[in-house]
Chain A
Amino acid sequence: MSMLNRTASGGSVDRSKPLNFTFNGQSYRGFEGDTLASALLANGVHLVGRSFKYHRPRGIVAAGAEEPGALVQLETAEHTEPNIRATQIELYEGLVASSVNVWPSVDFDVSAINGLFAKLFTAGFYNKTFMWPRSFWMRLYEPVIRRAAGWGRAPTTSDPDLYDHMHDHPDVLVIGAGPAGLSAAVEAGRAGARVVLVDEQAEPGGSLLTLEREIDGQPGRDWVQDRIAELEAMPDVRILSRTVLFGYYDHNYLVAVERKTDHLPVMKRPGRIRQRTWHFRAGHVVLATGAHERPLVFADNDRPGIMLAGSVLTYLNRYGVFPGKEVVLFTNNDGAYETALALHEQRLKVAAVVDVRHQVTGALPARVRALGIPVFAGHALSATRGGKRVSAVEVRPVQQGAGKLTGAGRWINCDLVAMSGGWSPVVHLFSQSQGRLEFDAGKSAFVPAHAVPAQTVAGAANGDFLLKDCLLAGREAGRNGVLAAGLKPKRRKPAAAVHEPETAPMEPVWLVPGREPVGVGKAKHFVDLQNDTTAADIALATREGFESSEHVKRYTLTGFGTDQGKTSNINALGILSGLLDRPLGEIGTTTFRPPYTPVAYGALAGRNIGRWSDPVRTTSIHPWHEGNGARFETVGQWHRPWYYPKNGENLQAAVNRECLAVRNGVGVLDASTLGKIDIRGPDAAEFLNRVYTNAWSKLGVGRIRYGLMCREDGMVFDDGTTARLAPDHFLMTTTTGNAAVVLDWLEDYLQTEWPDLRVYCTSVTEQWATVSVAGPKARRVLEKLAPEMKLGPDDFPFLSFQEGTVAGMAARIFRISFTGELTFEINVPWHQGLALWKAVMDAGEEFGITPYGTETMHVLRAEKGFIIVGQETDGTTTPQDLGMDWIVSKAKPDFIGKRSFTRSDTSRPDRKQLVGLLTEDPETVLPEGAQLVFDPHAPKPMPMVGHVTSSYYSAALGRSIALALVKGGQDRMGQHVFAPLEGGTVTAVLTSPVFFDKEGERQDGEI
């Protein structure tokens, strides 16, 4: 297929390199250097999609990031990506794209019937509909919305591409490689600053790629090439093209994404980084982000073939593509006349230039008139015709200020409308950096109102639209960066001689009147082409009382699309200003937030995916667990053995077997993950006195004590045992998931509250492997491994510690118990953990030693009523709530949390308190988290009095057990509570939380 609308020469496409691509199943050709949009236009394709709400035909409007309408689904299967702007897709061989939001096809769209339901889709539709009856929502609205709404399809398989992240710290970060940005980068680079120049396009140059300009007698494009060559030769300058700076955060932290392979054929991409996210911490930032042209809001302004005049010029000059052959220009400024001249030069028919200004006096209009092109001053487009492409426009005289049409209309045939409503500085990044905007009435644009520290805005982004001003402002911005870096700028060269046309003032027009008042009749004045927001919607919002720009934005969804309203926001604000009869400057803008353009999740995730998304911690014994079929559970970042199924056992069967083994024989647990903090110093005992609720000064060397830590508000924070290894040396254990938090907490107090205490804390969690041997036969196993140690209850009593040799390894052995059974926790250096574990397994074989996991550990401790912090507690639980008054010292004058125990709320008698629950049916295991009530017949909503915190089947007891927090529970022993569940109400009786071996007779094991 030939390219119908391609100029004979010119532009920066490479005509020697044709490329084949497919759009909506149809094959086309373009050239290297094209975008998908320019290639489609070259082939005469204007209709690229359907609009969001009304499913009206939509075409290409712009030529860059601001494109509101031409969103496509790019590629297929795992490479597919939805809602990409056709104007930013570089063409490559074999590209496949299709329209979004069309069914069954872009040409025949049954959903266009939605246009008939226009009333259903007015502003605030979503807000209002949610208030309507639920049945309406289910039967009517949801099916309609599901069919109609949604842009594009997310891929259904995981992303096969590679992404990565880079960090850089330039002295000067320049954003935008147009005339201002290039001037800034060159100025900074020449002075020796470390410069990064970021530009979103494949080719640097910005506006110089569109406008025919001369700088110092040199064509603009050549000037750009020379500047790039100079920058590339500098050792400390990095040029990143195809890179969108999307986020600007505090202290000059900026984030960009570089497209590294998206311009290559899909088959050439594997093995290469697709996109790279850049993190910059810049000394000085130069925002040279340019400006976006504004559409004019007139009746039925959304037909394919209605484009921005500057973008038409871009297609012509940069891509050698003419998007139409019979053109009407519609403008309020001189800029569009440059497009008219360029079209005429290509021998395309310029049917008319329609200008809302009554006085059209500039040099450019004079040149257009001299060519015999009709110029309709003081006129406007009042209506358009066309199905899938504009075919004619109606031109009518309009009042000064475009308030009202004043005369009869005439129809002019055309296949392209090139419109210009003036230019909006791209202030998104400035706004993200907390910069405030003000409305400049002279420029009719929001411009930066003040300087932001360590930043300069230069060129069109600052409202300076003339090339000579851009070059000067860029140079000064570069010098600011040089000075900020503590370097000396080079002497200023004389300002460049620039040839550019004189322009007369523009006349702001926010809403062009149609033949009928806005909102009456079929014609629609579109403001936001992506969200289908019309001027009538904004009027409706104000009638319903929404006046703030932020409220109107949310109510009408203006600027809520993936384009963030780059072309629509200012027109919406202008219309709002007219409706409210308040100056635009008072209305203000909405807030710009990152990202500037959408960013793929893959780029944000970088390499932190799959097993690298979060570190996995394993113990030195892990290979044995894996080799012996353990199932694992994640605790913090640890992977701990959960249970060890044998012969196809399920969880319950395995846990029953493991539990009985510990109760009746001997079991072994890998307890290495327990947090361990080494605490040393002359004031260590005093420190423990302050952080634990019980007393520590008198703990003898070689002895161990269980302790509870609270926060200042009296709520339990952590628990564990601590051994006194020497008078000034303790080893503290913490819960597995809380180890780092506890260490931080201790450091906080030592460094900030009690810097006078001479205490040092060191994490030794990963220095010691811990093998816990538990059960009545535990001593038999250890006797074989440590024959020279005295292990009897008199020589090695409960809650004491000894050093000795176990299986030939120097070990610390702690006699503590989380199961109620005789337990030896053997600690050896981390790397010896596996050897110790194997030795224990070998020695225990004759006693039937059974490895057990965290699930069995939980059941065994629940049988004994031992709490788990974070399960029986939730940050609102005191020691007294847990029935653990015994561990709260009355004698100590102060410790963390003490004062709070007497606060009125903390000492209420009806607080939720820890109790045991026995279900009426011993086989029923309550779900953890189940809510409890005292009266199951109470009217709904029933007063809830607590919840189940732990619940298991206990093999040792042959029935279910549960722990719960129940209001005033400690005074309700023997009474009933009820758990109303989906399958019926479960009745349980309140008991002591200690279910097994209440007298603690088992802790010394077989003697």
Chain B
Amino acid sequence: MLKIECPWCGPRHETEFRYGGEAHRVRPEKPDSLTDEAWAAFLFMRTNTKGAFAERWCHVNGCRRWFNVLRHTVSHEILAVYAMGEVPPVPGARKEGGQ
């Protein structure tokens, strides 16, 4: 069970949080302008990173705030915690937009 540092509440057990999947996937501004393939890629495709991975967490059983976590997917080491809208603070980490 991970120990996650909520930016507002401090370190808490993983059981207080909800996982929100890959971070930095931005909902397209104009979905109508996308091809079926591009829209399907937004809907269904996720990267499967071995290494530093940016993901979203929500402190559902606490402050209910969403934030980003940079976690190593093998060691589960949490490399960084940062706010929504910020870029991942560790160089070399993936940053991906929806379009």
Residues of A within 8 A of B (CB): 249-253, 281, 434, 453, 712-713, 744, 747-748, 751-753, 755, 893-894, 898-900, 902-904
Contacts and interface: CB of A to CB of B under 8 A. Distances in A.
A898 B31 contact: yes
Nearest to B12: A281
A893 B75 contact: no
A766 to B, nearest CB: 16
B39 A900 contact: yes
B9 interface: no
Contact of B65 (A253, A751, A903): A751
A715 to B, nearest CB: 11
B18 A251 contact: no
A748 B56 CA distance: 10
Nearest to B20: A748
A712 B20 CA distance: 15
A713 B27 CA distance: 12
Interface in B63-85: 64-66, 75-78, 84-85
A253 B60 CA distance: 21
Contacts of A744: 18, 58, 60
B60 A753 contact: no
B43 A900 contact: yes
A604 to B, nearest CB: 14
A434 B32 contact: no
A752 B84 contact: yes
13 contacts: A250-B1, A250-B76, A252-B3, A434-B75, A712-B42, A748-B58, A751-B65, A753-B26, A753-B27, A894-B32, A900-B39, A903-B36, A903-B39
Contacts of B50: none
B95 interface: no
B58 A251 contact: no
Contacts of B36: 902-904
Given A453-B77, A899-B34, A251 B84 contact: no
Contacts of B76: 250-251
Interface residues on B, range: 20 to 34
Given A251-B76, A453-B77, A751-B65, 14 more contacts: A249-B1, A253-B3, A253-B13, A453-B75, A712-B27, A744-B60, A748-B66, A752-B56, A752-B66, A752-B84, A894-B31, A894-B32, A899-B32, A903-B36
Contacts of A902: 36
A712 B39 CA distance: 10
B2 A251 contact: yes
B43 A712 contact: yes
A246 to B, nearest CB: 14
Given A253-B3, A755-B85, A903-B36, A747 B66 contact: yes
Contacts of B84: 751-752, 755
B40 interface: yes
A903 B39 CA distance: 9
Contacts of B58: 744, 747-748
Contact of A899 (B1, B26, B31, B75): B31
Contacts of A249: 1
A898 B32 CA distance: 8
A250 B20 contact: no
Contacts of A251: 1-3, 76, 78
Contact of B39 (A453, A747, A893, A899): A899
Nearest to A895: B31
A889 to B, nearest CB: 13
Of listed B26, B31, B40, residue having the most chain A CB within 10 A: B31
A899 B40 CA distance: 10
A755 B3 CA distance: 27
Nearest to A253: B1
Contacts of A900: 39, 43
A752 B1 CA distance: 25
Nearest to A249: B1
Question: What are the 8 A-B residue pairs with the smallest beta carbon separation, nearest first?
Answer: A899-B31, A251-B3, A751-B66, A253-B1, A250-B76, A753-B27, A249-B1, A752-B66
Interface in B32-58: 32, 34, 36, 39-40, 42-43, 56, 58
A903 B37 CA distance: 9
Nearest to A711: B43
Contacts of B2: 250-251
Contacts of B40: 903
A869 B69 CA distance: 33
B10 to A, nearest CB: 12
Nearest to A452: B75
Contacts of A903: 36, 39-40
Contacts of B27: 712, 753
Nearest to B65: A751
Nearest to A906: B36
B59 to A, nearest CB: 11
A898 B13 CA distance: 37
Nearest to A761: B64
A251 B66 CA distance: 21
Nearest to A740: B60
Contacts of A281: 3, 13
A893 B32 contact: yes
B15 to A, nearest CB: 10
B44 to A, nearest CB: 8
B64 to A, nearest CB: 6
B36 to A, nearest CB: 6
Given A752-B56, A752-B84, A713 B32 contact: no
Given A453-B77, A904-B36, A894 B30 contact: yes
A904 B36 CA distance: 8
Contacts of A250: 1-3, 76
A893 B26 CA distance: 18
Of listed A251, A253, A713, A748, residue having the most chain B CB within 10 A: A251
Contacts of A752: 20, 56, 66, 84
Contacts of A899: 31-32, 34, 39
Contacts of B78: 251
A893 B77 CA distance: 42
Nearest to B33: A899
